[in-house]
Amino acid sequence: MANVVVVGSQWGDEGKGKIVDWLSERADVVVRYQGGHNAGHTLVIGGVSYKLSLLPSGLVRGKFSVIGNGVVVDPHHFVAEIEKLGSQGISITPDVLRVAENAPLILSLHRELDALREDSNSGLKIGTTRRGIGPAYEDKVGRRAIRVCDLAEPDTLLAKIERLLSHHNPLRRGMGAAEVDAQAIYEELLAVADKMLPFIDRVWDVLDERRKKGERILFEGAQGALLDNDHGTYPFVTSSNTVAGQAAPGSGLGPTAVDYVLGITKAYTTRVGEGPFPTEQDNEVGQFLGERGKEFGVVTGRKRRCGWFDAVIVRQTVRTSGIHGIALTKLDVLDGLDEIKVCVGYELDGARIDYLPASMGAQSRVKPIYESLEGWKDTTAGARSWADLPAQAVKYVRHIEELIGAPVALLSTSPEREDTILVQDPFQD
């Protein structure tokens, strides 16, 4: 039985929540391995919507779940999200959830720094969620982060906070913000420590033991591969690695633990925030896709930018994440269009290229080269077999497979988990 990594193949918001929920029925363990509470999942189960942004999606199904060391954890949000699920009848206890002891914490000063930078009149606006994700990762690589395990050592916590503030307070002074008091941060953390401590564990050890028992592990990625700090549209990216390879270091398991990579891929393209978007349609087509697809951010509520399917970026993600197969989502949003366009290449300074350049300047200058396909009038919504799909819809899916160099393993035709066509079970790879 395979262990599966789920990764977004575009800029996030591809519908990972539903697919992870669908796969979690076949998994024994669900692991979050990067990001923080800046990336939301919406699960629709029995007509009830569950909105998750930090906790692994498998918890809603009662699956043993893990927040890995590659995640940055806001302890107050952690407690609040558990309480929110509790109010919806989902009880979260240490029996079903563990948090890596070496995961970095997001503090209030990280959120404030995030906002100060975004509101600044100078510098580059990234369009972050202002959740403090980037500043928390900066402290991690700067070796000054407060980590989950530090909550268990209150006697030395204040000294660690003071060391952290020796970096942050000069930054704040330079931005015209008041300095932060170490005691205030200390009390901020002690207020949630008792609620979080029962969940802390050596996650690498827990996962290794479960893997040796033959349990199937589902690694749940957040955001999308084009937001990867190395392989995305830098600098308009997140502060972590979002490609599939991060599942190993972000959980404490070696790369041999990964058997199958499933790329969640929307049948068109969306993006939230700033940055290049070659196939964006700032017109009636984009409005149609946004309204039909209900394209608003789970975490921020921001309207998503919408455009045609870009085979160039997905083909590139297939390679940088080692994707074996894709789960194609939201095909039904394209129902009723007379013509559907697909980007098959770019023009850059008069030359045709088949990749997304690394430099910000070149990314802003690429122009999409389109192929046009005939649309379909019959609905694909709720289809559960290939026979239920219009012929032109099948043609569209097959053409996408050819363009990106990866087969469709799953096809999602509505937000409901049952409306899924299984072509290849990733756990049976």
SS3 213: coil
How far is Cα 321 from Cα 9, in angstroms, rounded to an integer? Answer: 8
Instruction: For residue 382, count other CB atoms closer than 10 A to its CB.
Output: 12
Ranges assigned E (strand) in 18-106 = 29-32, 41-45, 48-52, 64-67, 97-100
Q: Exactly one of 13, 74, 332, 419 is catalytic; which is it?
A: 13
How far is Cα 254 from Cα 386, in angstroms, rounded to an integer? Answer: 37
Q: Which residues lie below 8 Å from residue 64, measured CB to CB, with a gap of 6+?
A: 28, 29, 30, 58, 96, 97, 210
How far is Cα 2 from Cα 191, in angstroms, rounded to an integer? Answer: 41
Could you give the C-alpha distances from 390 to 216, 292, 375, in angstroms and in order? Answer: 35, 19, 10
Could you give the C-alpha distances from 194 to 10, 78, 158, 187, 191, in angstroms and in order? Answer: 39, 12, 17, 12, 7
- 50 residue type, one letter: Y
Q: Is 349 exposed, middle or buried (0-12, 13-18, 19+ CB in 10 A)?
A: exposed
CA atoms within 13 Å, Cβ hemisphere of 133: 24
Q: Exactly one of 21, 28, 41, 419 is catalytic; which is it?
A: 41
Residue 35 is classified by DSSP as B
Instruction: For residue 126, count other CB atoms closer than 10 A to its CB.
Output: 18
13 catalytic residue (yes or no): yes
37 catalytic residue (yes or no): no
Which residues on adjacent β-strands are paired with residue 369?
345
Cα-Cα-Cα-Cα dihedral sign, residues 88, 384, 321, 209:
positive
> Residue 408's closest CA among 307, 265, 202, 273?
265
Q: Which residues lie below 8 Å from residue 278, measured CB to CB, with a gap of 6+?
A: 307, 310, 312, 313, 343, 346, 356, 366, 367, 368
Could you give the C-alpha distances from 398 to 163, 262, 263, in angstroms and in order? Answer: 56, 17, 16
Known catalytic residues are 13, 41
